[in-house]
Chain A
């Protein structure tokens, strides 16, 4: 059984580790700020679903340490490959929140420019983005660049064939990819025990010939330290790393899901005790890095952030029906041009109202 890396205990006590050091105080403060804003973002997005402004939102509440740690570990030119549950990481990495939520408002595209941000579109199917991450990394390697690609997935995705193929390709091609599996214990309703008979997901690394680390995914300091090392390793040309983050999805799969049908309140309560926010807060308060003034400032920043998200989503223009034809091909085919014209004629005649 792989041993778990933990640098902060649930009460914020520092745990000595022979290999990983606690990140610097300024970095920890930055991480904490990310956690606070990320948590507020998750709450705000949930509210927007309730108000009917988002079609759906897969919340990462409880997993913010992985979200913020992932964004923090990447350097300027690095790439992130997020899933649908990783909006907080996407936003933390610099995508304007309204752009990151575009798809979930019911629009037809991912909302942001993946090339400009070096963030792939959030993946809706499971694990399919992982081989893409290997390709992006391999291209960089062929050009002699030290770009690193951080690819995210969940525990359910480790059962998919693309997870296996991506890890195997990455190892064979020594690709600069870090695979971060957020093991949040459920794939919608199905528990980890139905996904694998392995003792840990990190144990799978040995089968691919790549180092693997099991980290406490609710310890922001440990997640960041482990990812830092994996990113440095990939950038040095030494190849991929598999990181399993032990975490928990505090919300249901999405707002359309009823988690009460498959897990107990007691279990949720136990994991709430391991919440990454109070843990880092306790450490920062205990060491005097976080004072009352700074906390108030952060709370205000989070509220301001939430307000911007609210206003931005409310102000979004409705998608144009004609746009559906615009980017199927670089040059629309004659058939598409004809169909676009048909829809346009219908719209001009007032169709779509019944």
Chain B
């Protein structure tokens, strides 16, 4: 099969379908994921195809969903659960951080939990309050979790298949803004494994480092910069934990300048970690301090104001402009 137009929602649906077909122990459950097919229709048709024992609705209780997933995984199943929205996953926080993340460690490796937690996250969809949080930093900060943040339909398919086959729990962050964006993707082509970043665009002058919903914004910014005579590379992290530190360091050392881009409030975030990491590993190769373009440190703004909060092409290019080019 060659490349075809595919939305991320369709890519994830296909990944779930293929995983369920390949392995009877894969179960999909959560709120409204059954006959409705999920509020984003990501699980559409799965109950029809595989039956209500394999794809089912649960009572509306996120801690219960996560806790049940942990028990199912303890007893031989491969649960893939959906947290309906980023901020609605918070009731499950204790189950995720104290149990899902720690079971392997608490049992000296006797119990490992192959659970995938799908979290539709981040903004840009005009959602009302509590529907658009960038919650990745909470998960990335928790030892024991693997945190994936695909930006493309091909990665959404490939990384989700890899996540379902992974022996340890994976937080799978799905950028809602990208669900229905159609793009060329060949899902039969294998993708790079968990823990690897990919250079989406080469550029010798500076490197934009980002993930998830900000990748297309960074690519657009690089496109515009090219028109203005500046070559910006775009590194898509794909995997926040494990983090591909080697590829990050190589890219930044090659260009000498870096801007980290993420929707999340910047303070104590994945973006902050990236800036610190680059400082530690690339200091002598840097022509300018690492800049961060992130969301403001505010509760996620309402639909009428969110455009002011999200990293924009202009804000990215302004940050690039400040990378001390007078020394170039």
Contact = CB atoms under 8 A, between A and B. Distances in A.
Interface of A: 79, 108-110, 113-116, 120-121, 125, 128, 130-140, 142-143, 161-162, 165-166, 168-169, 172, 326-330, 333-335
Given A131-B64, A330-B112, A334-B245, A139 B106 contact: no
A128 B91 contact: no
Contact of A139 (B76, B144, B168, B242): B76
Contacts of A120: 74
| Interface-centre pick from B108, B112, B143, B167 (highest chain A CB count, 10 A) | B108
B71 interface: yes
B99 interface: yes
Contacts of B143: 328
The 7 A-B residue pairs with the shortest CB-CB distance in the complex, in nearest-first order? A135-B71, A131-B67, A165-B64, A139-B75, A132-B71, A109-B108, A135-B68
B229 interface: no
Nearest to A171: B59
Contacts of A143: 76
Interface string B135-147: 0000000011010
A162 B243 CA distance: 33
| Interface-centre pick from A135, A138, A169 (highest chain B CB count, 10 A) | A135
Given A109-B108, A135-B72, A333-B243, 17 more contacts: A110-B106, A114-B107, A115-B111, A121-B111, A125-B98, A128-B99, A131-B71, A132-B71, A132-B99, A135-B71, A138-B71, A161-B61, A161-B63, A166-B64, A166-B67, A327-B107, A328-B144
A131 B242 contact: no
A128 B168 contact: no
Nearest to A102: B108
Contacts of A113: 107, 110
Contacts of B242: 333-335
Task: Report the contact-size class of chain B (Cβ under 8 Å from the partner).
Answer: 35 or more
Contact of A115 (B64, B98, B110): B110
A168 B64 contact: yes
14 contacts: A79-B75, A109-B106, A110-B108, A125-B94, A128-B99, A131-B70, A131-B71, A131-B95, A135-B68, A138-B68, A142-B27, A142-B77, A169-B64, A327-B109
B104 A165 contact: no
Contacts of B80: none
Contacts of B246: 334
Contacts of B168: 329-330
A341 to B, nearest CB: 15
A8 to B, nearest CB: 35
B112 to A, nearest CB: 6
A329 B94 contact: no
A326 B109 contact: yes
Given A115-B110, A125-B98, A328-B105, A131 B146 contact: no
Contacts of A137: 71
A327 B71 CA distance: 19
Interface in B7-37: 27
Nearest to B102: A328
B218 interface: no
A133 B67 CA distance: 8
B59 A335 contact: no
B146 A329 contact: yes
B241 interface: yes
A162 B48 CA distance: 31
B182 interface: no
Contacts of B76: 139, 143
A258 B312 CA distance: 59
A337 B66 CA distance: 29
Contact of A121 (B69, B77, B79, B107): B107
B132 interface: no
A135 B61 contact: no
A131 B63 CA distance: 8
A142 to B, nearest CB: 6
B53 interface: yes
B107 A130 contact: no
A114 B75 CA distance: 11
